[in-house]
Homo-oligomer: A and B are copies of this chain.
Amino acid sequence: MKISELSRTTGVPVASIKYFRRQGLLPAGRATAATLAEYGQEHVQRLRLIKALTTLGGLSIAATRDVLTAVDQAHSTDSALGAVSYALPVPVAESPVGDAGREAEIGSAAEAEVADLIAAMDWQTPGTSPHVEGLTAALRELRRLDADYRPGELVAYAELARSIARLDLDRAAAFDEAPEALAEQAVIVFALSAPVLELLRRLAQEDQVRRRIPSLPGDGPRTG
């Protein structure tokens, strides 16, 4: 199909398609003339994935490119999952200026908390993982707000996170029947299930709050 039809099929404007091409997110079409290219079903699917990553996944164009590059270079579902995991942006916490002594104390406490957690969970995670650094920064931020986790609380969350990760990996493995869709499986499971999980948590929070208080918007509470 021509670029105009690719645009109609996917709802992505021609200018955006050209931008994604220039940014290396979308492979070239098959050249049929000096200024014409023929696009196929793989371009439709890739454009849908780009849209899903940038809207539902909330990724920037740069992050989307990193993720797609990582999966295009992967050779198996597991290595794709690993590559995507490291290519996804990590939630960041800024380091505020403040009392240097307190900051040092907060920093050591957060590092010890993460090390203890990883040991308690027996997680096989190198210290160089961006997620170790990210979690340490997040815990520092919570300590600054005097909202650190009580003993055992973080482990309780981590146990649930492990159960979720097992579901994620099972889900990725189940897709495996069509190996040519490998790249997308990894992206979908790792990048697009995060917003679904967050929405499920919000619905569950809403339910929990509603069971405690009758004056929320919407219908009244039931017991349970």
Q: Which residues of A contact B (CB under 8 A)?
A: 8-12, 45, 48-49, 51-52, 55-56, 58, 76, 78-79, 81-82, 85-86, 88, 90-98, 118, 121-126, 128-129, 131-132, 134-135, 137-139, 141-142, 144-145, 147, 149-150, 153, 156-158, 160-169, 171, 174-175, 184-185, 188, 190, 192-213, 215-219, 221-222, 224
Say yes or no: A203-B160 contact (C-beta < 8 A), given A11-B98, A98-B9: no
* Cβ A150 vs Cβ B123 within 8 A: no
Partner among B96, B97, B197, B211 whose Cβ is within 8 Å of the Cβ of A157: B197
* Cβ B145 vs Cβ A52 within 8 A: yes
Number of copies: 2
Which residue in chain B gives the minimum CB-CB distance to A214?
B78
* Cβ A217 vs Cβ B128 within 8 A: yes
* Cβ B205 vs Cβ A52 within 8 A: no
